[in-house]
Amino acid sequence: MLKFKDSRLRLLDLQHSFQDDCESFLTNFESFSSYNFHVFENIWQEMNFSLIFLGKYRRNELPHFTQMCFDCIKKYIVFDTSNYIKIGALYLLYGVFNKQPIKHYVRIRLVLEEFKVLSALMAEMKAQNHVEACYVYSKLLKDNAFDFVYSQCHLGLENKVLKADLKLRDDIFLTDRGLRKDVETVDAEMFKDIKDVDGKYQKLLKDYINKNPDVKFTSYSELVNKNLNELLGPTESTSTKVDDALSLKRKTIKEKAFRSAKK
């Protein structure tokens, strides 16, 4: 379990770093206001994107990392409104797909909604005679790059599958990526582990107190609650205060309306 968590957190760190690089790449590509593949090629070389798979990735991590890259890039095709960003993302899919260490080892999973967005984009490119974008898309189709699937991720009964995102999340071009990273690295299983340990501690403590009634103990949970109460002050909830404020505001509005009616 620990190895799985370490691997998951490692891939999560890589995901946010890769997404930052994608946004720098696509912003740069958009600044040229061109769908020319040579523009993409120059940026690819300048940012050393050809080295994306360079590193000591474990063999069992490589397919997960590659699929994570594809999912990340697809967000900019599905959610962004700029066609330059969308086409830049399509070129990125093409580049990453063909740079896999094992030729065509992982295919690009594509659900129906994503396929519709991509098809509409290609129809628009064809109507505007942007042949390079249409060629790249046709080449991906010819190379069997797309895996047309029902859901965003593999379905199953395993815990790691049940907790996976079934749809792409619209988190592109966020300024609080650091905060998002901190929130997402918090694993619910970590809290479960802490709760299990606390339950065992409470049981052992209770058994010890029963055997030694003269000894006085302050349990860890009681100490934490005490410190929280001292830190937070009164226990009145924020929601209660908000409800009271709303009630007072409504009462004021009603009184004002009645006074106006009497006049």
Are 174 and 242 within one domain?
no
Return all residues near 92 (Cβ < 8 A) that are at least 6 apart: 22, 25, 26, 40, 49, 73
pLDDT at residue 239, rounded to an integer: 45
CA atoms of 212 and 206, how far apart (whole Å): 10
Instruction: Report pTM.
Output: 0.62
Are 179 and 241 within one domain?
no
Q: Which is more confident, 242 or 126?
A: 126
Q: Of 184, 203, 223, which residue sits at a domain end?
A: 184
Q: Is residue 17 in a domain?
A: yes
Joined together, the tokens standing for residue 175 give 């300024």
pLDDT at residue 182, rounded to an integer: 47
pLDDT-based confidence at residue 57 (cuts at 50, 70, 90): low
User: Does the pLDDT at position 192 exceed 70?
Assistant: no
Q: Which of 10-24, 114-128, 224-238 has the lowest mean pLDDT?
A: 224-238
Q: Is residue 76 in a domain?
A: yes
Q: What is the pLDDT of residues 60-103, one digit of tens each?
A: 778 888 998 999 999 999 999 999 999 999 999 999 999 988 77
Q: Is residue 210 in a domain?
A: no
User: Does the pLDDT at position 256 exceed 90?
Assistant: no
pLDDT at residue 196, rounded to an integer: 74
Are 45 and 107 within one domain?
yes
User: Does the pLDDT at position 228 exceed 70?
Assistant: no
Are 162 and 261 within one domain?
no
pLDDT at residue 169, rounded to an integer: 74
The mean per-residue pLDDT over the stretch 226-234 comes to: 55
pLDDT at residue 163, rounded to an integer: 47
Are 151 and 245 within one domain?
no
Residue type, 221: S
Q: Is residue 223 in a domain?
A: no
User: Does the pLDDT at position 176 exceed 80?
Assistant: no
- Segments forming the whole domain that contains residue 163: 2-184
Q: Of 167, 184, 201, which residue sits at a domain end?
A: 184
pLDDT-based confidence at residue 122 (cuts at 50, 70, 90): very high
Q: Is residue 72 in a domain?
A: yes
The mean per-residue pLDDT over the stretch 235-260 comes to: 57
pLDDT at residue 217, rounded to an integer: 60
Are 20 and 149 within one domain?
yes
Are 138 and 263 within one domain?
no
Number of domains in the chain: 2
pLDDT at residue 15, rounded to an integer: 79
Mean of all residue pLDDT scores within the chain: 77
Q: Of 141, 166, 184, which residue sits at a domain end?
A: 184
Are 156 and 42 within one domain?
yes
The mean per-residue pLDDT over the stretch 32-57 comes to: 90
Q: Is residue 209 in a domain?
A: no
What 3-state class would DSSP assign to 147?
strand
Q: Is residue 42 in a domain?
A: yes
Are 176 and 246 within one domain?
no
Q: Which is more confident, 12 or 134?
A: 134
pLDDT at residue 205, rounded to an integer: 74
CA atoms of 18 and 103, how far apart (whole Å): 21
Are 22 and 129 within one domain?
yes
Are 46 and 175 within one domain?
yes
Q: Which is more confident, 206 or 7?
A: 206
